[in-house]
Amino acid sequence: MNDKISLTGISGFGYHGVLESERKSGQEFLVDVVLYCDLGEAGKSDDLSKTINYADVAALIHKRIIGEPVNLLERLAQLIAEDIINNFDINEVEVTVHKPQAPIPLPFTDVSVSIKRKR
């Protein structure tokens, strides 16, 4: 499937991380997703009901970011992928979770984990 919808930079304040300080203070997380789905009907009909409402996808991602804390970015990405697959008519999803304020004692720009899951 070559059709896709991309959302980038969905942000929220969460308490994910292994360190106690991360769980206590929290930090900003950003998520990018690519949804692979058939957009042919939507393109022909110009009908929102024939596509994926990306506002709904963004709300679901934000809810997960600010929700129950997890230790690993890998787990957060997995939960987001499962949420999307279980709630939207997609074939495949790619999820990238960014943690730009990760506790690394050296200069860096970003830490991210990316996963791809199929229905």
- CA 105 and chain centroid, separation: 26
* pLDDT computed for residue 36 by the predictor: 96
Domains in the chain: boundaries: 4-118
48: three-class secondary structure by DSSP: helix
Mean pLDDT, the chain, whole residue set: 96
User: Which residues neighbour 68 within 8 Å (Cβ) at sequence distance 6 or greater?
Assistant: none
pLDDT digits (tens, 9 = 90+) for 71-95: 999 999 999 999 999 999 999 999 9
What is the mean predicted confidence (pLDDT) over 12-37? 97
List, by residue number, the catalytic residues.
99
Q: Give alpha helix (H) positions in 28-119.
A: 40-45, 54-66, 73-87
CATH topology assigned to domain 4-118: GTP Cyclohydrolase I, domain 2 (3.30.1130)
**Residue 34 DSSP symbol:** E
User: Which residues neighbour 107 within 8 Å (Cβ) at sequence distance 6 or greater?
Assistant: none
- Rounded to two decimals, the pTM is 0.95
